[in-house]
Amino acid sequence: MIDLPVLQREIYQNKVNRGWNVTDVGKEIVLMVEELGELARAYKNSDKRPAAEIDHREEMVDAVGDLMVYCLGLCEMLGVNGEEVLTTIVEHNQTRAHTGWM
């Protein structure tokens, strides 16, 4: 099992070790949007098929992984526990009404 707080600190330390951004939240958001664009492009290239039929799965999984790393790195930059953030939103989603696109 993954220890998410430990992983969050490791992700942040890797950013420090490599000289990557650890202070500019806006830059992190822009990088996350770029990764989301890569995910959307891979989905579009899969002819918008259902998940089980997607043929650009590797590119999509890579982009999802990068987004997860950015999210945990951003949590560390903001001084919040990513595990607590995730647990809170999962619990909240169990009872809230969906108001987004479907």
Residue 11 has pLDDT above 90, yes or no: yes
93: exposed, middle or buried (C-beta count within 10 Å: 0-12, 13-18, 19+)?
A: exposed
pTM summary value = 0.85
Q: What is the DSSP letter of 52?
A: G
CA–CA gap between residue 15 and residue 9 (Å, rounded):
10
pLDDT tens readout for residues 66-100: 999 999 999 999 999 999 999 999 999 898 887 76
Residue 52, amino acid:
A
